Structures are given as C-alpha cells and as structure tokens.
Chain A
Amino acid sequence: MAHPTQLGFQDAASPVMEELLHFHDHALMIVLLISTLVLYIITAMVSTKLTNKYILDSQEIEIVWTILPAVILVLIALPSLRILYLMDEINDPHLTIKAMGHQWYWSYEYTDYENLGFDSYMVPTQDLAPGQFRLLETDHRMIVPMESPVRVLVSAEDVLHSWAVPSLGVKMDAVPGRLNQTAFIASRPGVFYGQCSEICGANHSFMPIVVEAVPLEHFENWSSLMLEDA
C-alpha cells in the first residue's frame, strides 16, 4: 500500500505490475538521461565566451540527431508493446468475481458454484483498530486464492465508478449496464489496497477496495464460512 513520502510505485504483487514497474524504470531512465544532456548543453551554451558566426549546416550532426532519437524511440516502443500484448493474452481464469460499484461501497459476487455476495464498506475513522489504515480499510475484503488467475468483471449499479488496485496493476471502469473484464494473478499472499478511481459523488473518496490473497485452502474455508453466515 502507499506510504508517506513515497516517490515510486507500490511494490508489485502481480507479474503484470512487475513488468510495468520495470518498464517505467527503463523509460524514466531514458527521459532523465535526455533531460540531463539537454540541460548540460543549455548551460554550456549560455556560459561560454566562445562564438562561431560561420557554421551554416552540418549533414553529419543532422543525421546523428535524427537516427539517435529514432533508435531511442524504438528502445522505448519494443518493451511497451511487449507488455501491452502480454496484458492482452488469453488467460484461463480459475475463478470469476464480480465487483459492483454502488454509491458508496463495492459489492463482490462469487457465483461460480454458489451465490455468494457481500458488501464492502469503508471502516469509518473512529472505528479503526490500532494499526489499521485510515480511509483504506473495509469491513469485508475481497479474498482471492494466491497464484491463481482471477477474472474480475467490473460493473456499477448507479453511476460511474472505477475499480483500481495499484499493487496488482489493475484499474477498470465500472459502467452501469456494462460488464468490463480484467484479470490478475496475485504472486504472493498479502493485503492489497485500492480506491475508487472515478468521481461518483459525495463519498467517492470513501469507498476503498481491499484484496486479500491467501492460500487456496484458506480461500475455500473462508467461502464456506461466508456462505454459512449469509
């Protein structure tokens, strides 16, 4: 989850997010190198007493500063497209969960076998236990088995919302009347936080998402318990 004074992404909890993180590092390094070079050239030009009034053109440098940017762009495009296609691959989910956005909470439905559905409200600040995170905790978490491909179908029951969990590299708009598919694999067990990412009214900032990845056995126990309680 996010922490104070954080500069970069949250730690990746899915293979896709790892790829996105590394690509971002790669692209940012290129950007920083170019910016440093340009800044250096600017300061060098501004601070020299030398002048040259007789240069008219230079084929060589023109060729270099055309080919080099093209090469740099290819070096950015290739990893980018690789990840784009990776994210689009046909996956074979083990589990389908529906995340429905409401004003102002999420509800999760696990209907592959039985009809398990429950609401997930934010824990109000005054009800937080010590150690819990303000504006991020919910009363019921979306539990998923770890290391399993999970399909999430996102929709909304009233207005636009958006289901996002940064550490899993997932964000998908929740549109009323439409069913948007996304998928992820939680590479490790853990608790992953997200927040509604489309303005949806007064309590848009107060309908967080919590995904908890657990071993398959624990997931099965949890879902039986939830069905009994319902």
Chain B
Amino acid sequence: MADVIEDKIKNYKTAPFDARFPNTNQTRNCFQNYLDFHRCNKALSSKGQDASPCEWYQKVYKSLCPMSWVEKWDGQIEDGSFPGKI
C-alpha cells in the first residue's frame, strides 16, 4: 500500500482529475488538499508514524493553490488564526 503511494508520488506530473470536484470551480479542491495535508501530518506524526504518504496532498495543493493563498494560510496556521479545522 505504501509503495503504491510512493510510486504515485514519484511519477507525479500534475494534480489528476478528482471526481469529487468535477466542475469549473476548483477552489474547494485546492483547500481540501491543503487541509488534508496538514491533517495527515498531524495524524501520522502524533502516532509517531512516517508522514511521507502525506506528500501526495502537498504536491496536489502546491499544483492547484495560488502561491499567495498558500503563504496566507501558512501564516495563519503559525498565528493560530487559520479558519479550517486541522
């Protein structure tokens, strides 16, 4: 299972089609992957497990999200003012 994910991460070209977000508005796609990355990190690190599968979510949100949004959200997470639940 882990090597399937590793393969996917290694052969990453760009964010693939996500059936949860089939329409023009991809805002939620970007935000969801950003949330999922941080939640995955938090969940796996709290159990002391290797967080490298979480890299997938990071690659996807980096592909989809504008850099300014990511910087803003990273700043908010540091401040503690991030509106999403992680």
A interface residues (Cβ-Cβ under 8 A, vs B): 90-96, 98, 100, 109, 111-112, 115, 117, 151, 153, 155, 157, 172, 177-182
Task: Please give the distance in Å from A97's CB to the nearest CB on chain B.
Answer: 9
Question: Are B14 and A177 neighbours in the complex by a CB distance under 8 Å?
Answer: no
Task: Please give the distance in Å from B34's CB to the nearest CB on chain A.
Answer: 12
Task: Please give the distance in Å from B16's CB to the nearest CB on chain A.
Answer: 7
User: Which B residues, 12 to 64, have Cβ-Cβ distances below 8 Å to chain A?
Assistant: 12-17, 22, 24-27, 29-30, 59, 62-64
Question: Are B13 and A94 neighbours in the complex by a CB distance under 8 Å?
Answer: yes
Task: Report if A112-B63 is in contact (Cβ < 8 Å); known contacts: A157-B68, A181-B26, A182-B24.
Answer: yes
Question: Are B67 and A109 neighbours in the complex by a CB distance under 8 Å?
Answer: yes
Question: Are A90 and B22 neighbours in the complex by a CB distance under 8 Å?
Answer: yes
List B contacts of A179 (CB < 8 A). 25-27, 29-30, 64-66
Among B17, B25, B64, contact of A91 (Cβ-Cβ < 8 Å):
B17
Size range of the interface on B?
20 to 34
List A contacts of B26 (CB < 8 A). 153, 179-181
Task: Report if A111-B67 is in contact (Cβ < 8 Å); known contacts: A92-B17, A94-B13.
Answer: yes
Among A100, A112, A172, contact of B14 (Cβ-Cβ < 8 Å):
A112
Q: A95 CA to B13 CA in the complex, in Å?
A: 7
